[in-house]
Amino acid sequence: MNRIYILLFAGGLLAACESDKSAETSAITLPETSVADTLRYEQEGHLRNVRQLTFGGDNAEAYFSFDNQYLTLQRAQESADIPCDQIFYGKIPTTPEETFDMKLVSTGKGRTTCSYFMPGDQEIIFASTHLSGDACPPGIDRNVIKKYVWPIYSEFEIFVSDLDGNIKRQLTDNDSYDAEATLSPDGSKIVFTSTRNGDLDLYVMNVDGSDLKQVTDGLGYDGGAFFSPDGTKLIFRASRPQTAEAIAEYKELLSQNLVAPSDMELYTCNIDGSDLKQITSLGKANWAPFMHPSGSKVIFSSNHASESGRLFNLFMINLDGTGLEQITFDGEFDAFPMFSYDGKYLVFASNRNNGDTRDTNVFIAEWVE
């Protein structure tokens, strides 16, 4: 996941919303507006009625509630006194007059990442460093580390908060990186990434934190995992260093709680780790995968077609590695796609329409097969 750093690849007021969602239905209808048409590139035939939900700052990793009515996301914006990522949620607008108003659900302290709705849509899971200090954890001095890397904060622990921002429980407690948690479609299982065994591997546990099981064990960074629509498989991105030099570099960076995400491919496996398969062999960085509701293909972000490596667009590919298709045609950065549970909508983060700034915003569109 790690959206807070991937922006280096690519170069308002917060209003509260109600937490009682019991009366909501299971479908959304986006407003028809002329503005939406201007946010879609001509080649983007799978998207319709694109609408921008956030304006300004770094907004990404927006994921649907189980009832498809709400989104949870992480946001940072210096001008709004949010110096590093915090977790918010908001109701998806259903009329042209509505705005996407967000409510803070993390503590406002430390740094957070990777939020997801819990079963019942009354709680949100996310990782946070707030127990280790109120301030944002230190960033990377790129004058010293002369390489594009992500920090892997060992201070991250996984928490569950209610929609009013009250921490209800802590699911991990150790000196390792624990983050990138998402839930199975039936709400019974959590998958996340951890360094508790000395490497960056995937783990699965019950929604209450019990029955923890390690899923992957190959050397490299396994992360950004999501469940398949039927809950039996995982889709994730992984680095797999092969040469002695690459292995040594990976281990050295990991010893400094760093990882270089410039060489990643997509993999699938059963939730017990069996039947591991590599889906892509495109080169460069292929990441942020999410399965299509059919369960037969996956949408993801990639810079494989970019000569400079700075341009990321969304692509779709069959789970057997065939049928690669480009989905978005933005000139800068598109990532973090997720289909609504009914398959009618796609939410994603993009640098489009940002006025030539570095702002990343959240967009939602109707999905056209």
* SS3 track for 227-260: ECCCCCEEEEEECCCCCHHHHHHHHHHHHCCEEC
Residue numbers of the chain with a pLDDT score lower than 70: 1-36
Count of structural domains, the chain? 1
For residue 91, tell me if it sits in a domain. yes
Sign of the alpha-carbon torsion through 352, 357, 358, 364: negative
Strand partners, 360: 58
**pLDDT at site 279:** 98
Q: Record the tokens describing residue 33, joined without a space.
A: 């507006």
Helix (H, G, I), strand (E, B) or coil at 63: strand
For residue 25, being part of any structural domain is answered with no
Residue listed under structure tokens 């986006």: 30
* pLDDT confidence of residue 32: 57
Instruction: Determine, yes or no, domain membership for 24.
Output: no
pLDDT of residue 41: 96
Question: For the segment 222-250, what is each residue's pLDDT rounded down to a tens digit?
Answer: 999 999 999 999 999 999 999 999 999 99
Residue 336 belongs to a domain: yes
Strand order in the sheet with 233-238: 222-227, 233-238, 265-270, 277-278
State the DSSP string of 179-206. Answer: EEEEE-TTS-EEEEEE-TTSS-EEEEEE
Pairing relationship of beta strands 286-291 and 297-302 according to DSSP bridges: antiparallel
Q: Give the integer Cα–Cα distance in Å for 118 and 199.
A: 27
Cα 3 to Cα 122: distance, rounded to the nearest angstrom: 25
- pTM of the complete model beyond 0.85: yes
CA-to-CA distance for 53 and 50, rounded, in angstroms?
A: 10
Q: Is residue 302 part of a domain?
A: yes
Tell me the residue type at 262.
Answer: S
With respect to residue 42, please indicate whether it lies within any of the assigned structural domains.
Answer: yes
Determine the residue type at 106: S
Task: Report whether 40 contacts 50 (CB < 8 A).
Answer: yes
Among 81, 89, 133, 90, which Cα is nearest to 111's? 133
| Furthest CA-CA distance within the chain | 58
Is position 56 within any domain? yes
Query: In which domain, by residue range, is 145 found?
Result: 3-18+30-367
**Residue 135 covered by a domain:** yes
Cα–Cα nearest to 125, from 106, 152, 143, 109: 106
- Note the pLDDT of residue 8: 41
In this prediction, residue 249 carries a pLDDT of 96
Closest CA to 123 of 170, 83, 78: 170
Residue 158 to residues 4, 92, 171, 181: CA-CA distances in angstroms? 18, 26, 5, 8
pLDDT of residue 5: 42
Is residue 28 a contact partner of residue 69, using CB atoms and an 8 Å limit? yes
Q: How far apart are CA 361 and CA 231, in angstroms?
A: 29
CB 134 within 8 A of CB 127: no
The two tokens of residue 317 are 């590919």
Domain of 197, CATH number, reads 2.120.10.30
3-state SS string over 48-84? EEEEECCCCCEEEEEEECCCCCEEEEEEEEHHHCEEE
Start-to-end CA span in the chain (Å): 26
pLDDT at res. 6: 42
Please list the alpha-helical segments (H only) found in the chain: 3-6, 34-38, 244-255
